[in-house]
Amino acid sequence: MPTIAITGAARGIGFELARQHLAAGDRVFALARDPATATALNDLAAGSGGKLTVHAMDVADAASVKAGAADTGSEAIDILYNVAGISGHRAPELESLDEDTWDALFEVMVKGPLRVLQAFLPRLESGAKVINLSSQIGASTWPYGGFYAYASSKAALNRLMRSVATDLKPRGVVVGLVHPGYVQTDMGGAQAEITPQESAEGLRSLAAGWTIEQTGAFFDWNGKRREW
């Protein structure tokens, strides 16, 4: 069965991906910033018979990323999900830009996924897939203002991973970008349109069917190709 690594696995979409992949019989490395507080994830691991293990990884910290990846061993990774993220604040950024929040977002949302990919790169063989959670807010087609730090970090992630996709294509490694939907998580809120279960099901389906010819593409969670 496939071997899966998931950042941000303690809650929301990351947790649901871990749960669904485990239910499918896959080997899951669940990566969380603070495993000690990830109660639901630890409970899932406890009942998995060793098929799901929890590992510490703070994607904003290079040393933590390297240590977390090393803690998972040397097994080849079939699918790497870059899920970990933060939303920042939603104050009027034009009038008052919080540069600390801006910097934190770029550390987590742009540098973080690249750090994680680099740490697992020796274990990504031909046919492996790296699925990065982006957002429709980072696309140039998004018709609204605001969200300066969040939107620009997702736009940067898109451009970054498009470059990575080009460089990894000769190795047969697929790199994808996905808008996971407006999801009922701590970030999206209870009023959001879809559940984490629905989003994760869509992401898993996309990952399963993503081909090397589509590397670098940006899709919605439901399989619709998105311009950005």
Q: Which residues are catalytic?
A: 150
Q: What whole-number distance in Å separates Cα of residue 213 and Cα of residue 92? A: 41
Q: What whole-number distance in Å separates Cα of residue 43 and Cα of residue 52? A: 10
Q: Exposed e or buried b for every residue in 161-173, given b needs 16+ CB within 10 A?
A: bbebbeebeeeeb
Is the distance from CB of 115 to CB of 165 less than 8 angstroms? no
- Conformational region of residue 154, where left means phi above 0, alpha means psi within -120 to 50, and beta covers everything else: alpha
Q: What whole-number distance in Å separates Cα of residue 135 and Cα of residue 157? A: 10
